[in-house]
Chains A and B, each alone.
Chain A
Amino acid sequence: MTSTQDAERADPYAQQSDYRSGPVFTVTGQDWDSVVSGAAEHDSERVVVNMGPQHPSTHGVLRLILELEGETVTEARCGIGYLHTGIEKNMEYRNWVQGTTFCTRMDYLAPFHYEAAYARGVERLLGIEADIPDKALVMRVLLMELNRISSHLVAIATGGLEIGALTVMTIGFREREQCLDVFELITGLRMNHAFIRPGGVSQDLPHGALDKVGDFVSLMKKRLPEYAALCNANPIFKARLVDVGYLDLAGCLALGITGPVLRSTGYDWDLRKKQPYGGYEEYDFDVVTWDTADAYGRFRIRVEEMWQSLRIIEQCAQRLQGMEGEPVMIGDKKIGWPAQLAVGSDGMGNSLDHIRHIMGESMEALIHHFKLVTEGFRVPAGQAYGVVESPRGELACHVVSDGGTRPYRAHFRDPSFVNLQAAPAMSEGGQVADVIVAVASLDPVMGGVDR
């Protein structure tokens, strides 16, 4: 249905707007003819299209404002903020450990990376970076690399969906579900894990986790070639992606772009190699680059990075085999959560040994438990910058402490937020359909953009 908006059909949820620039069409599908004929009456090729924020092709609640001359985009602007939930502000009113449960909800496709960036910032403030147990570091790497795979799968899947390649979408989500099953076994949740915490990780690996990881790796080794077979030389796929969304190295650096987009220009900037953190220097893997600086190159990089992540996961699993029973949380009892919780018969997480200890054996342990759980720990005043290489690029957490039990300020340098700035540079001068491909190749996650 198409209609020229007038006073009688005013939007009941908005104030009456005064449109001076021309007629306004509300497009709801199957009505292109009436738009074209309506525009023809006004004898102008220039159309301003408001795409989104509720649109299946905009990769989330992203609003794109496109100025078109015919099919050519002359200007593109992004409108964001539709998913702003004030997570950073909320974190200032919870203690340092609880902050993990907030930042894990920012970018819902890469929760472990957000937890890791935050944990790294807090650990640097506490000065305990060297005291994190090895097993916790290996588990972090394992989870982050699994998460990189699940995130890249969604990037490829939704990117395929948006250009109409439905099979790419279905197989992408099929494999991602397997990955989330692994997360569920290890952390208890498919998303929003709050698993990586300042001082280590919250739980030891459950029984059978490494077998499940091994199964997933061998499954992915069978499935990943399917993506290559389906897409790499597919003429339709290449016609949509090759030379689309071009952004060269100078453009990337000026606009602050990192991750697969930067690596698609041929520059091998990957923080895991350049500024190794959390034990990444001990793993054997390659940084994947491409030299076409277009959407096709970014697709190829993402697929190849999944192979590299599988390599790292295998090395992690091998190391974890020999680490059974080792601690996963820092030994400092003023920071580390005292109990190893397990799901009891009542479905609640608790630790019977710990309850016996604090309720029946040691008054001091009870006091200590109470203080740590209700008050949390204090973090010496100062500021720190915790950085990780997320699936989308440089993810950093700028944490400021005033010496209290809660973050004074936690700001996330979100790669989706920064990368989205490149959308106009990538899509202006191209076709409308290429805007979708360009944005999909940036892979912004609006939960992270808006926070």
Chain B
Amino acid sequence: MTAPADDSSEGGHSEAERRLHERTRSDDAGTSPDEPETGTTPRGPERDLGVREQMPENTVAPVDPGGGAATFEVVGVREGMFGVDGTGDTSGYGGLRRPVVMPGATQRPFGGWFDEVADQLASGLRQTGTGDVVERVVVDRGEMTVHVRRGHLLATVRQLRDDAALRFEFCSGVSGVHYPGDRGRELHAVYHLLSMTHNRRLRLEVSVPDADPHIPSVVSVYPTADWHERETYDFFGIIFDGHPALTRIMMPDDWPGHPQRKDYPLGGIPVEYKGATIPPPDTRRAYS
């Protein structure tokens, strides 16, 4: 039940593919992925798309996450089976390419109190004159994630905290996730909110490009976010504008780089056996 089955259900698959096209289009403005590729070797999702069209048996069946998520969000591509490239890979799985699909936007009705919160948030933000804030709402595995555009994050959390019908007065924490394959939205900051009044949990997710990793700080609304944002800055390099003192918190002040990012170089372990070394964990053979 954990491995994706081989048979694909048509509806979800075409939806994932459509999103793949959209992403490709927005990334490479001008070239349509439907036309034959010319010139440079395509990287990432485009290449994957070609392979998948040739080998329909290799397509990934949309995994039903069980929460009614109707669409999928491609955030990367998984290649091969054993983490080995080139001639070292004798497994025969080297050409296998599968998109990494996260649950995408959920269609209404979300179910339970999710609709109520979404409506209340939308109407509240409309009253305060804030623009189009919510990118999409994902209801998955019984949890609600609201993807918010960073420009209006502060207005959104203030609304979530102060509106009596929402009243998410408690911020559990902020954590970062790095999706290097999610181009233009590599860094995600995830805010876990809790409403003790209504006994509800809500997750906010803000995505920013690696080239411009700025997110407004929510410390003025949730003072507890102080250390969480410092930690996320320390580990991911997301800069929280307006934070009272955005310094490293775990790593030493003069530490170069942000260790939790997927592209952070990992060290191997020198072992005293005929000059051999253990390679860094990300270059070892592993099931991918």
Contacts and interface: CB of A to CB of B under 8 A. Distances in A.
Contacts of B223: 254-256, 421
B2 A380 contact: yes
Interface stretch (A24-32, A306-314, A395-403): A395-403
A81 B288 contact: no
Contacts of A374: 287
B8 interface: no
Q: Which 5 A-B pairs have the closest CB atoms?
A: A256-B224, A411-B175, A93-B281, A413-B173, A81-B250
B29 interface: no
Contacts of A387: 201
A385 interface: yes
B250 A84 contact: yes
Contact of B199 (A254, A275, A406): A275
Contacts of A404: 78, 287-288
Interface string B155-185: 0000000000000011111011110000000
Contacts of A75: none
B227 A413 contact: no
Interface string A395-424: 010101011111011010100011011000
Interface string B194-205: 101001010100
Contacts of A383: 102, 140, 143, 145, 177, 190, 203
Given A254-B222, A375-B287, A396-B173, A385 B65 contact: no
A278 to B, nearest CB: 15
Interface in A371-393: 374-385, 387
A274 interface: yes
A245 to B, nearest CB: 18
A70 interface: no
Contacts of B196: 253, 269, 274
Interface string A243-271: 00000000001111100000000000100
Interface in B208-250: 222-224, 226-228, 231, 248-250
Contact of A405 (B177, B178, B287): B287
A385 B63 contact: no
B278 interface: no
Interface in A6-48: none
A88 interface: yes
A382 B224 contact: no
Nearest to B288: A404
Contacts of B287: 95, 374-376, 404-405
Interface stretch (A60-68, A123-131, A136-144, A187-195): A123-131
A260 B160 CA distance: 26
B282 interface: yes
B226 A381 contact: no
Contacts of A334: 1-3
Q: Which among B98, B170, B222 has the greatest number of chain A C-beta atoms within 10 A?
A: B170
Contacts of B177: 383, 400, 408-409
A61 to B, nearest CB: 12
Given A80-B249, A84-B250, A253-B169, A402 B222 contact: no
B192 to A, nearest CB: 6
Given A402-B76, A402-B78, A413-B192, 14 more contacts: A81-B248, A84-B251, A86-B259, A127-B65, A253-B196, A254-B223, A274-B199, A378-B2, A382-B65, A382-B141, A383-B143, A394-B194, A405-B287, A413-B175
A450 B224 CA distance: 17
B78 A450 contact: no
Interface of A: 80-81, 84, 86, 88-89, 93, 95, 124-127, 253-257, 269, 274-275, 332, 334-335, 374-385, 387, 394, 396, 398, 400, 402-406, 408-409, 411, 413, 417-418, 420-421, 450-451
A314 B50 CA distance: 61
B45 interface: no
A381 B102 contact: yes
Contacts of B170: 253, 256
A380 B171 contact: no
Given A334-B1, A385-B203, A396-B192, A406 B286 contact: yes
Which of under 10, 10 to 19, 20 to 34, or 35 or more describes the interface residues of B?
35 or more
Interface string B99-135: 0111100000000000000000000000000000000
B4 interface: yes
Contacts of B252: 81
19 contacts: A81-B251, A84-B250, A89-B259, A93-B286, A127-B1, A127-B66, A256-B222, A376-B287, A378-B2, A379-B2, A380-B4, A383-B102, A383-B190, A387-B201, A402-B75, A411-B175, A411-B176, A413-B175, A421-B227
Interface in B73-102: 75-76, 78, 98, 100-102
Interface string B273-284: 000000001100
B225 to A, nearest CB: 8
Contacts of B103: 381-382
A418 B173 contact: yes
A94 to B, nearest CB: 9
Contacts of A80: 249-250
B260 interface: yes
B162 to A, nearest CB: 13
Contacts of A421: 223-224, 226-227
Contacts of B192: 385, 396, 398, 413
Contacts of A413: 172-173, 175, 192
Nearest to B103: A382
Contacts of B178: 409
Contacts of B142: 124
Nearest to B221: A254
A413 B252 CA distance: 21
Contact of A382 (B2, B140, B227, B249): B140
A382 B98 CA distance: 16
Given A383-B145, A403-B4, A88 B224 contact: no
A408 B288 CA distance: 11
B249 A125 contact: no
Contacts of A411: 173, 175-176
B2 A126 contact: yes
B227 A418 contact: yes
